[in-house]
C-alpha cells in the first residue's frame, strides 16, 4: 500500500546493535520497536500491530527460535528474520523449519540487511494482496476443476 508505514520489531540483547539497526530502518521510513529480551518482545508483539520481527538467535531469557515459534502461534501474519553469529547448519535448519523468512549472519552487512527487510515486507504485501476472499476462493476452485476435467477428456480420446 502506498503511504503505509511498516512496523518492525527488533530484538537483540546488544544495545549498540539495537541502536544501529533501528537507525538504519528509521532512515528507510520504517517504524521500529526495540526489545532486549524475549519477555519485552512478547509484550510488544501482543500490543502492537507488526509487519516484521527481526530476532537475534541468542537472547538472555530465551532463544530467537522459541520467540519465532511463539510469533507463528500467536501472530502468524508477522514475517520473521533471524540473525545470529552462530551460522551452523542446525541453527539455520531449525529456524527455517519453524517458519523464518530468512537468516542473516552476524556481523551484519547493513546494505544486505536492508535488502532482506525490503524483500520480507514486499512478500508480506504480496501475500496480503493475493489472499483470496471467500467468493474468489470458490471461483478459483471451479476454474481448477474445469481445467482438470478438460485434461481428463483429452487423455481419454
In whole angstroms, what separates CA 91 from the centre of its chain? 17
Residue 44 lies in a domain: yes
The 8-class DSSP code of residue 28 comes to T
- Assigned domain for 70 exists: yes
User: Which H or E run includes 68?
Assistant: helix 64-74
In the DSSP assignment, the letter for residue 26 is H
Q: pLDDT of 50-107, one tens digit each?
A: 999 999 999 999 999 999 999 999 999 999 999 999 999 999 999 999 999 999 999 9
**In the predicted model, is pLDDT for residue 137 greater than 50?**
no
Residue-number span of the structural domain to which 39 is assigned:
7-156
Q: How many domains does the chain have?
A: 1
CATH number at residue 139: 3.40.50.2300
Residue 60 counted as domain residue: yes
Q: Is residue 1 part of a domain?
A: no
Amino acid at each position: 500500500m502506498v503511504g503505509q508505514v511498516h512496523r518492525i520489531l527488533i530484538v537483540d540483547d546488544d544495545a549498540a546493535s539495537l541502536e544501529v539497526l533501528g537507525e538504519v530502518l528509521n532512515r528507510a521510513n520504517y517504524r521500529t520497536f526495540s526489545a532486549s529480551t524475549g519477555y519485552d518482545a512478547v509484550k510488544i508483539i501482543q500490543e502492537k500491530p507488526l509487519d516484521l520481527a527481526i530476532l537475534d538467535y541468542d537472547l538472555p531469557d530465551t532463544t530467537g527460535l522459541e520467540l519465532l515459534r511463539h510469533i507463528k502461534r500467536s501472530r502468524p501474519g508477522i514475517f520473521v528474520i533471524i540473525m545470529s553469529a552462530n551460522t551452523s547448519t542446525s541453527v539455520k535448519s531449525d529456524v527455517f523449519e519453524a517458519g523464518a523468512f530468512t537468516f542473516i549472519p552476524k556481523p551484519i552487512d547493513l546494505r544486505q540487511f536492508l535488502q532482506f527487510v525490503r524483500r520480507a515486507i514486499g512478500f508480506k504485501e504480496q501475500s496480503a494482496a493475493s489472499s483470496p476472499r471467500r467468493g474468489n476462493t470458490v471461483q478459483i476452485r471451479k476454474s481448477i476443476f474445469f481445467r482438470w476435467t478438460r485434461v481428463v477428456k483429452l487423455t481419454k480420446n
